Structures are given as structure tokens and as C-alpha cells.
A and B are shown apart, each in its own frame.
Chain A
Amino acid sequence: DTGVSQDPRHKITKRGQNVTFRCDPISEHNRLYWYRQTLGQGPEFLTYFQNEAQLEKSRLLSDRFSAERPKGSFSTLEIQRTEQGDSAMYLCASSLGSFNEQFFGPGTRLTVL
């Protein structure tokens, strides 16, 4: 158990619907990361926060995606108007500072029908 939790673990939605995922990092970790992973590939970076500030967003993160970490604790990732190509595992990780181990949660598997 890494201490990072994600909710829900699975989400099935219809194309065009909005979905929101939650990540609770390890409590003392100030950095929180979101990644997306498709079958047979490694995780791809989406965005990361230091405390409540969103410091970097990948080009993969279209304007349909938004992430927040309002109080520097938990984070949410929202996908609006979902498309079938959004089907993937969404992984959250946290770390204490930069250039240190990232601890991953179990992921949220999204299926868009």
C-alpha cells in the first residue's frame, strides 16, 4: 500500500459525458502528478502540482481536461465531453519535493463507450 488513493477505481461512461476523478496523495507530499497510461505503453505525463499551484501541463492535456488541487491536498482531474480516445488508465502520484521517488496510486480505469 503506497498511501496514494484514487477514486473511483473504474469508470464507464458514454461519449460526450463529463467525468471527474479524485486523487488523495500521501499527506506530507507537496507534489502531485497525473499520468495517463494506455495498454502496452508506459505512463504519459499530463500535469503536476506543487502544493496548490499547477506548474506544468502536457500538450496531451487538451482544453477538455482540467485539473485542480485547491488546498494543496487532494486533486481532481475532470474530462469534459469524453471521447473514445480518452479510454485509458489515469494514474496519480505524489512525492516529497522534486527529483524524489514518486509513489503511485492504483489508478482509475476509464472506459468511454
Chain B
Amino acid sequence: SQQGEEDPQALSIQEGENATMNCSYKTSINNLQWYRQNSGRGLVHLILIRSNEREKHSGRLRVTLDTSKKSSSLLITASRAADTASYFCATDESTNAGKSTFGDGTTLTVKP
């Protein structure tokens, strides 16, 4: 079964609004990564946050990590139509220094 679960499954907002997506996971992790995927395309890496970090920023993106609750959130501020995509979280488990385990993603639609 997938380690990460994103919430909500789908999100529709107006351009200029903020979008918040959440990710929950089950086991102890070394880091958590967020990716974006446009329809039919490959994944684009957005942010990596390590287990000893609580918050990270990159441009209009803000990621938080709460290891006690085994959850993370991705905030996109001042959204644009070009942000329309699926967003995935992926966890690298502490005991498995190899694979990343992905959730099924949040589909974000930003209406112009």
C-alpha cells in the first residue's frame, strides 16, 4: 500500500487564491519530497524537506513537516493557471535508503 496519502484528492480554486494540500504517512522517514506532474508528463521536483526541518520555502511554495503527526503540507500562494497539475508527496523511509513511496496525489485546478 502507498505510504503517503494526499488530501484532498481534488482542489479547484480561482487564480490568485492560495492552495493547500496535505500529505500523511505511516512510518518514520528521513525526508519528504513534493513533486508536480502536468497531465501525461514526467514529475518535476519541487521541494525536499528533511525530518529535522519543520518548514521550507521556495518562491511561492511553502512546505511544512510535522513528524509527530506524520504529516506535511504544501501551500501555493497567489496561484496561477499554470499551477494546474497533480501534486504528489513522496517519502524516503529511515530504514530504506532507496526507494521513494508516493501517494496518489492531489489534482489542482486553477481557474483563470
Contacts and interface: CB of A to CB of B under 8 A. Distances in A.
B44 A101 contact: no
Given A99-B31, A104-B43, A45 B48 contact: no
Contacts, number: 66
A48 interface: yes
Contacts of A31: 98
Interface stretch (A12-20, A35-43, A71-79): A35-43
B69 interface: no
Nearest to A45: B99
A33 B42 CA distance: 14
Interface size class of A (residues with CB under 8 A): 20 to 34
Interface of B: 2, 4, 30-31, 33, 35, 40-45, 48, 50, 88, 90, 92, 96-105
28 contacts: A2-B44, A31-B98, A33-B99, A35-B102, A40-B104, A41-B104, A41-B105, A42-B4, A42-B88, A42-B102, A43-B43, A45-B99, A45-B100, A48-B98, A55-B98, A91-B43, A93-B43, A98-B97, A98-B98, A99-B50, A101-B45, A101-B48, A102-B90, A102-B100, A104-B44, A106-B42, A107-B41, A107-B42
